[in-house]
Amino acid sequence: MKRTVLLIAIFCIGLACTRYPDPELKLLKNYSFNFQTGQAMKFLSGEWVSDSVIFYAVNSNNPLKDSVRVLFEVVEGGGNVTIKSSYTNKNGFAYTGWKLGSESFAQKLRAKTYDTSGNYLTSTNLIEYGFRNDAWDTCSFSPDGSIMGMVADTVNKVSFIIANGGLYKQGERYYIWNGMNDPVVNSPRTINIDRNGIIYISTGTGELIRSNDHGESWKTCTKPYPDRPYYIYVSISNDNYIWVFVWDHNTRFSKDGGNTWNDAGSNLSSYGYGNVFRLKDGSLLFHGSNCCSLNRSFDDGLTWTKIETPGYSIKLYVNDKDEVFIVTQENGITIYKSTDYCSTFNNVISVSPEWGTSDNDNIFNKWGNFYYILIPGWGILKSADLNTYDVYWVNNNLNNLFIDHNGVLIAKDWNMNTVYYRKNSAK
């Protein structure tokens, strides 16, 4: 009897003195996945992504034995793959070929992975970009996402942009931009081109540099404001005169490619920086960035006479027929046209943008037989004659528009890091 009681007691004490394991964390399965093929690469739609797409999967707990089944699937873009199902080899790699589609700009290939027992592990995505024809492709890449200015030389087939405080030349594809390292080109800020293909760049220190050989080499012009070490505004008129502007000096112009400079009269700088056009009668027409600042000069820029405009004019454009167009802030944005050297104006179109800006760089852009008119805060109009307009693209976020030497439109978003590419098919 006593033994029975003793056994029961020992059993109970044993239960009470349970020895518990120490706290611990164990990784029972520990898989890593990634695409060895680079993410976010840029291709043309319909192209193959590299020679092949390489996927890597490994179980760190058993790297040599644990093969992984990989199912490749195109989930965005409409492309296709050569191998849809595969197993990782002893090194953990699985391969497929991926041809991009054209259904979307961002295209996604998904690798769904399963262990050897068929249990689903995870899905890993590879995203690449396929630039399409006749569609707007939204890019937030560098440097073009923060483009500040562009020139396109259609004769010599080159385009340059200023972005991120550097000069970039378009590469073999329109979305590739290669940095230009030239000691003369230091802190570029604006870029312009004249009718002879001479490219001018202004710098953050107020220098003006030029290239006579389509960006191959650069040399410094005479400094427009020798005593001023800060940036300047530059525009080039259709007679190849160079016009420079700063707030605290006279507007100046150079007739000889930046070698010598002349002061514009009549306190022209009080109207802000702007555009100048040479009319066929030899006079000059100017509109500054300030409201209602249309002026005309008959003595080659020495004196200016103000011209009254309808609405609140902010921008000037003169086409090859000497038809004058002014952009006003009447009823949103209204474009007026004058065929009698600004004696009378006719309303040709009005639109209502979401917002306005004083930075109206490239409203009128011509490529081929068409004008592409960028209205900041509204979108893009298309016109053959600037008399009738078609809505080309309504996008309230647009702030600027550039066209490269191939005719690729590059619209800039107001957020300063996004651009929209559109390459139109040759028709």
Partner 1 sequence: MKHFNTFICIFLIIICHSVGYSQNISTGIYSGVNFSDIHGQDIGGKWESKPGPVQGFYLGYSFNKSIGIQTGINFSTVYYEHKTTNYPYLYITTSYYDINPVYYYQGDDKMDFSFLRVPLLFTVSIPSAIQFNMKAGLIFSFMQDHSLSNSYYYPSSEPDNTKKKDFGYMFSSGISYPLTDRFKTTFNVSYITGRKQFLENFNYKHGSSEVTLGFDYEFLKKNKTEVNSKFASDSSSKKITVTFIGGLIVSSNPSTVDGKKYSPVFGPSIGFSVNIPLKYGYSFISGVSFERKGYSMKDSSSLFYRYLKNDNPTYYIDTKVQVDYAIIPFLISVPLGKSQKLFFNTGPWLGLKLNARNVGVAYNEYRSESSYTIRKTIIYDDIEKLIKDNDIGWIFGCGVSLPVEKNYRVDIALQYSTGFKNVFNNSAEGNQQNLYDPDPIIRFRTISLLIGFRIP
Residue 178 touches partner 1, criterion: CB under 8 A = no
Residue 36 touches partner 1, criterion: CB under 8 A = no
Residue 33 touches partner 1, criterion: CB under 8 A = yes
CB of 67 to partner 1, least distance (A): 15
| DSSP-assigned letters across all residues of 58-118 | EETTSTTT---EEEEEEEESS-EES-SEEE--TTSEEEE-EE--SS-SEEEEEEEEE-TT-
Binding footprint of partner 1, residue count (CB under 8 A)? 30
Closest to partner 1 by CB, 125 or 267: 125
Closest to partner 1 by CB, 124 or 417: 124
Burial pattern 373-399, b for ≥16 Cβ within 10 A else e, equals bbbbbbbbbebeebeebeebbebebbb
Widest distance between CA atoms in the chain: 132
CB of 13 to partner 1, least distance (A): 6
CB of 4 to partner 1, least distance (A): 8
Which string of x and - marks every residue 305-324 that binds partner 1 (by CB under 8 A)? --------------------
Closest to partner 1 by CB, 39 or 220: 39
Residue 40 touches partner 1, criterion: CB under 8 A = no
How many angstroms separate the CA atoms of 32 and 347, rounded?
A: 64
Which segments within 246-351 are labelled E, that is strand? 252-254, 262-263, 274-278, 284-288, 294-297, 305-306, 313-318, 324-328, 333-338, 346-351
Residue 116 touches partner 1, criterion: CB under 8 A = no
How many angstroms separate the CA atoms of 75 and 85, rounded?
A: 15
Cα dihedral sign for 257, 258, 262, 265?
A: positive
Residue 118 touches partner 1, criterion: CB under 8 A = no
CB of 115 to partner 1, least distance (A): 9
Residue 303 touches partner 1, criterion: CB under 8 A = no
Binding piece for partner 1, criterion CB under 8 A, among 92-100, 119-127, 159-167, 310-318: 119-127
Residue 113 touches partner 1, criterion: CB under 8 A = yes
How many angstroms separate the CA atoms of 159 and 163, rounded?
A: 13
CB of 41 to partner 1, least distance (A): 18
Q: Which two tokens stand for residue 399?
A: 């702030």
Residue 117 touches partner 1, criterion: CB under 8 A = no
Report residue 13: phi and psi, to 5°: -65, -40
Binding piece for partner 1, criterion CB under 8 A, among 3-11, 297-305, 328-336, 363-371: 3-11
How many angstroms separate the CA atoms of 313 and 288, rounded?
A: 9
Q: Of residues 120-159, which lie at the interface with partner 1 (CB under 8 A)?
A: 121-125
Q: Which of 15, 227, 281, 427 binds partner 1 (CB under 8 A)?
A: 15
Identify which of 234, 229, 263 has the alpha carbon closest to the alpha carbon of residue 249: 263
Residue 3 touches partner 1, criterion: CB under 8 A = no
Interface residue list for partner 1 (CB under 8 A): 1, 5, 8-9, 11-13, 15-16, 20-34, 113, 121-125
